[in-house]
Amino acid sequence: MIQQFTPSLQEIEEQESNYHTILSIDGPLITVENMPNAEIYEVVRIGQEKLLGEIIKLKESATFIQCFEDTSGLSVGDPVIRTRSPFSIELGPGIFTQVFDGIQRRLQINQDGSFFYGQGQMNISALDHDRIWEFKPSSNFKEGKLIYGGDIYGSVFENNLFDEHKIMVNPLVQGRVTYIAPEGNYTLKDNILEVEIEGIINKYGMSHFWPVRQKRPIVEKLEGNTPLLTGIRVLDGLYPSVQGGTCCASVSSIGGKIFISQSISKNSNSNCNIYVGCGENEFDIFRVIDEFYDQKIPIKDHQESIAQKTCLISNSSKMVTPTTEISVFTGITIGEYFRDMGLNVSFIVDSTNQWSQAVNQIQEKLGEILPSETQSEVLTAKIGQFYNRAGRVRCLGSPERIGSITMVGIATQSEGDWANSITNCTINNSQVFWLLDKRLSQRNHFPTFDRISSNSKYEQLLDPYYSSINPEFNRLKEKLQYILSKELELIKIIQLGEKPLLDEQQLSLEINQIIIEQFIYQNTFNDYDDNCPLPKTIGMMKCIVTFYECAQKAIQDEQFTWNLIKQKAKDQIYKLNGMKFYKIKKSELENHFNNFANEIQFLFKNLQEG
């Protein structure tokens, strides 16, 4: 059985006070006779098959339970057994490359994209307890030394992308070490550590359990100071998130979901990824997950799948509603586990719309139908329950370390309309908003970020970081955004046809097109442009802005018309339109773009003197 509870089910069954009976069944909602002293989110076992359920509402007359499994085999009068424990998941080596459902049962994938449970896998442990791991103990802990929650006392090799899985003490454990296993091969069933406290010796393996609805403890929460770099110019340059930030991505298609998932997972500066597909169409989730296995990262002389540093949780619309609701808490708990190793974790929820609908369905079954205004406030607070677990933190335990979780909630647009209530609830919990415009995808313009509605509120936090790379970064970004903001105004003048564009307006329109076609447009399927390093992004910004400002000054001084500038600077305009195609060593990027910016300035200086 899944090792979720203490004491064991056998011990629980021996206590008559733990038994109760079903009064009614309404799909996944089970009503049971009153359970004295029961607690919200306490786990129960339901019926003869001991299905997994969770208490979600307590009344004097009855207790309400959401069941995480199919209830079609249950009947009124069937037994319900209290466990007096919250729902917990297993954390340890072997999480990566796995596909779990919302309650951490292992899934397999059919060739047609459907998910299924393997033979006998409904009730086996979440992690493989028979797999052998090469354990290396930490030199910091010996017999007789004190050990505390969160301390790292060893490591194992997980795979070629995630080569050091740190073995941590459960955050609630403390005492004196009486035994630590020597270097060697062990399974998750083996005792690796023994700790004595108040005369009692407790034995621990390489994994431990943690309640999904309870935050893992930290020392303190810290402000973000480093951007989540994705290799996508428009994200890194114009609408960045911090590592440990909160984001909402509004998408209209499966292509948008795949783009966001790839951008954050493949080339980002995150150490690992958690993807939760909750409530979406089964085939759509399969396509996103399939991309994780297909996408490769070069490692020395070969490539490895990014699935090796990714945990995938699939809870499609075919699965029981309560498992969709709890799946995000399962995922964020796994994310906190890796964060506590001192890692930067990317956490993707796909989608907050379907997750919110699952929450609403459960509320409706409970009879909790609220006015739309109140419902929006409640939904914002419920999304906040897992969004608030994002952030950059100082981790518990030794050695001292800092980790982060960056939260990205994907909100699905309805017929191209992104301004729906659930998206707004997600935005209310986010500091970054990425709007992917369906109209741009129809024109094959990728990435499809709406340049007016997309925004980031992390500029001030990230100013020291970007300024350390280029002190002019903020000015360059503001200038690019200013030029882009003029696009609609200029197009309207052209469409009206009442008067020709002035020279300065012609310049703005030309540079606007260069920004859109050469800077924002990025073909992630070509090796020259699939991953744009930050120095290249900033260098391109610098050269575009330098040309714009030099040409603008020449026009304002009435020295040149735009047509004359185009003739005199045709080589530089050609280079501006080809900047992204050049493959340049990362160490040479800064000099390359500085030289090009100097070339532009020298050209206009000669023209003015000329």
Residues with Cβ within 8 Å of residue 145, at least 6 apart in sequence? 176, 177
Same domain as 164, residue 197: yes
Mean pLDDT for 525-532 is 83
Q: Select from 63, 86, 109 the last residue of a domain.
A: 86
Q: DSSP secondary structure string, 441-507?
A: HHTT-SS-B-TTT-EES-HHHHHHHHHHH-TTHHHHHHHHHHHHHTHHHHHHHHHH-SSPPPHHHHH
Same domain as 241, residue 200: no
H/E element holding 583? none
Give a yes or no: residue 22 inside a domain. yes
Give a yes or no: residue 112 inside a domain. no
Name residue 14's beta-bridge partners: none
Over 390-429, what HEC string results?
A: CEEEEECCCCCCEEEEEEEEEEECECCECCCHHHHHHHHC
Q: Identify the CATH number of the domain in which residue 22 sits.
A: 2.40.30.20
pLDDT range class, residue 141, cuts 50, 70, 90:
very high
CA distance 280 to 257: 11
CA distance 12 to 568: 86
| Closest alpha carbon to 246 in 399, 64, 458, 104 | 458
Q: For residue 529, what pLDDT is reported?
A: 86
Domain span at residue 188 reads 128-206
Give a yes or no: residue 534 inside a domain. yes
- DSSP conformation class of 45: E
- pLDDT tens across 270-321, in order? 999 999 998 778 888 888 888 888 888 888 788 999 999 999 999 888 888 9
Q: Identify the CATH number of the domain in which residue 274 sits.
A: 3.40.50.300
Give a yes or no: residue 426 inside a domain. yes
Same domain as 388, residue 290: yes
Give a yes or no: residue 118 inside a domain. no
Same domain as 450, residue 482: no
Q: Could you identify the residue written with the tokens 């992004």?
A: 537
Same domain as 474, residue 460: no
Of 103-107, 120-124, 163-167, 249-253, which range is least confident? 120-124
Same domain as 315, residue 421: yes
Residue 400 has pLDDT above 60, yes or no: yes
Of 54-68, 132-146, 148-162, 298-312, which range is least confident? 298-312
| Closest alpha carbon to 450 in 415, 481, 405 | 481
| Closest alpha carbon to 154 in 197, 93, 231, 228 | 93
Same domain as 149, residue 25: no
Same domain as 349, residue 310: yes
Residue 120 has pLDDT above 50, yes or no: no
Number of domains in the chain: 4
Same domain as 319, residue 172: no
- Please tell me which residue, 366 or 13, carries the higher pLDDT value: 366
Kindly state the tokens that stand for 235. 């994200």
Q: Identify the CATH number of the domain in which residue 178 sits.
A: 2.40.50.100
Give a yes or no: residue 213 inside a domain. no
Mean pLDDT for 211-235 is 97
Residue 10 has pLDDT above 70, yes or no: no
Q: Select from 34, 58, 86 the last residue of a domain.
A: 86
Same domain as 199, residue 243: no
Residues with Cβ within 8 Å of residue 228, at least 6 apart in sequence? 240, 241, 242, 243, 245, 264, 268, 269, 270, 346, 406
Same domain as 455, residue 495: no
Residue 1 has pLDDT above 50, yes or no: no
- DSSP conformation class of 106: B
Give a yes or no: residue 263 inside a domain. yes
